[in-house]
Structure 1
Amino acid sequence: MTPTHFLLTIVSGVTGTITMTAVMYLYAKLSRKDTKVVHILGSMITGTTNKNEEGKGKKLTAGSLGHLGVGLLFALMYFLFWNWGVFEVSWIDSFWVGAISGTIAIIVWRLYFALHLHPPKISFVHYFIALFIAHIVFGITTVNIFRLITDSPEFWYQLNKKVSEGASAMLLV
């Protein structure tokens, strides 16, 4: 990974995470259910599940940093999958990678809720629906932001293919 690719992956991951968070908050507004991922994660990290103002800044900071960190990890995993040729930087593949990420996120969150000493009292059905939709948006945003700001990236699998094709062509001559 070149420094440029790393920076572009970070930018696309941050953009995807912000967009995903907005979708979770929009879902909360429309459904009137608590799906505010930063607040929920922050309260679970800090152990302050109360609804009052006490520790609000600490919860928001912990939740924001935690969510952003996980978003960047997902974006870096996407970059690795591109490099391994698992999927392409395209609209359809970005949808599927978002859906797969959403499924993984639901499993991880379900485990986190089950293992946490004092999980928040939320509607899991609504939270997981919002989480799945938001991850599809995350995948589409992250992959396509990378595609838009990258000037025709050449990934390892493409370079290896070119080398193989070049070697094959030389043998045929």
Structure 2
Amino acid sequence: MDIQHFFITILAGVVGTIAMTICMYLYSFSTKQFTKVIHILGNMLVGESNYYTPSRNAWVIGTIAHFGVGVLFSFAYFLLWNWGVFRINLEDSVLIGFISGVLAIGVWQGYIILHSHPPTFSHIHFFIALLIAHIIFGLVSVNVFQMITDNPELWYQLQEEAKIAQ
């Protein structure tokens, strides 16, 4: 990975996380169910139990953790593209977002079960919002990456070109 793709991948993760967060908050607003992921994550990480009104510390920690995970997902996408598992296109961005959402639901479910003060909001609504938001994340982050870089020179493509040249 060159420095240009490194920064594009970070940007794609940040923009995707912003879109995902907006989706989660819109779901919360429209359904009147609490799905504000930064509030929940921050409170769980700092050990506070007031999920609806997090302290400043919980909000900052939740924001950093949420965006950090978003950037990690973006790097995972980049690796999967480079290995030829997924293509950079609309269909695969939805698929990779869906798979990420299912993975995230599993991680969140485990974290909630293991947490000493688990949240008491509707988990089913949180998981539905999480799945939808990860599909949005996949669409946005993949398309940001695609819009910025015309030819990402992915490893598997370079290997295929090298084989043809031989």
Q: Do they fold alike, i.e. is TM over 0.5?
A: yes
CA distance, structure 2, for counterparts of residue 36 and residue 11 of structure 1: 22
CA distance, structure 1, for counterparts of residue 150 and residue 87 of structure 2: 15
Query: Is residue 10 from structure 1 mapped to residue 13 from structure 2 by the alignment?
Result: no
CA distance, structure 1, for counterparts of residue 111 and residue 122 of structure 2: 15
Q: For structure 1, which segment, 22-31 or 145-154, has the greater mean C-alpha deviation from structure 2 after superposition?
A: 145-154
CA distance, structure 2, for counterparts of residue 158 and residue 112 of structure 1: 38
Q: Percent identity?
A: 49
Residue 118 of structure 1 corresponds to: 117
Residue 21 of structure 2 corresponds to: 21
CA contact (8 A) 2:43 2:51 kept: no
Residue 73 of structure 2 corresponds to: 74
Q: Larger radius of gyration, structure 1 or 2?
A: 1
CA 1:35–1:79 in structure 2 vs 1: closer, same or farther (change >3 Å)?
A: same
Residue 102 of structure 2 corresponds to: 103
The unaligned stretches of length 5 or more in structure 2 are none
TM-score by length of 1: 0.94
Residue 170 of structure 1 corresponds to: none
Deviation at 1:12, TM superposition (A): 0.4
CA distance, structure 2, for counterparts of residue 11 and residue 19 of structure 1: 12
CA distance, structure 1, for counterparts of residue 157 and residue 51 of structure 2: 51
TM-score by length of 2: 0.97
CA distance, structure 2, for counterparts of residue 56 and residue 45 of structure 1: 12
Residue 131 of structure 1 corresponds to: 130
CA distance, structure 2, for counterparts of residue 83 and residue 134 of structure 1: 24
Deviation at 1:101, TM superposition (A): 0.1
Residue 39 of structure 1 corresponds to: 39
Q: For structure 1, which segment, 55-64 or 123-132, has the greater mean C-alpha deviation from structure 2 after superposition?
A: 55-64
Secondary structure of the residue aligned to 1:29 is helix
Q: Which letter does structure 2 place at the counterpart of 1:108?
A: V
Output one character per residue of 1:118-160: Cα deviation in whole Å (capped at 9) or x when no partner.
0111101100000000000000000010000112211000000
Deviation at 1:52, TM superposition (A): 7.6
Q: Which letter does structure 2 place at the counterpart of 1:114?
A: I
CA distance, structure 1, for counterparts of residue 32 and residue 58 of structure 2: 21
Deviation at 1:51, TM superposition (A): 5.4
CA contact (8 A) 2:40 2:51 kept: no
Q: Tell me the C-alpha RMSD between the 2 structures.
A: 1.1
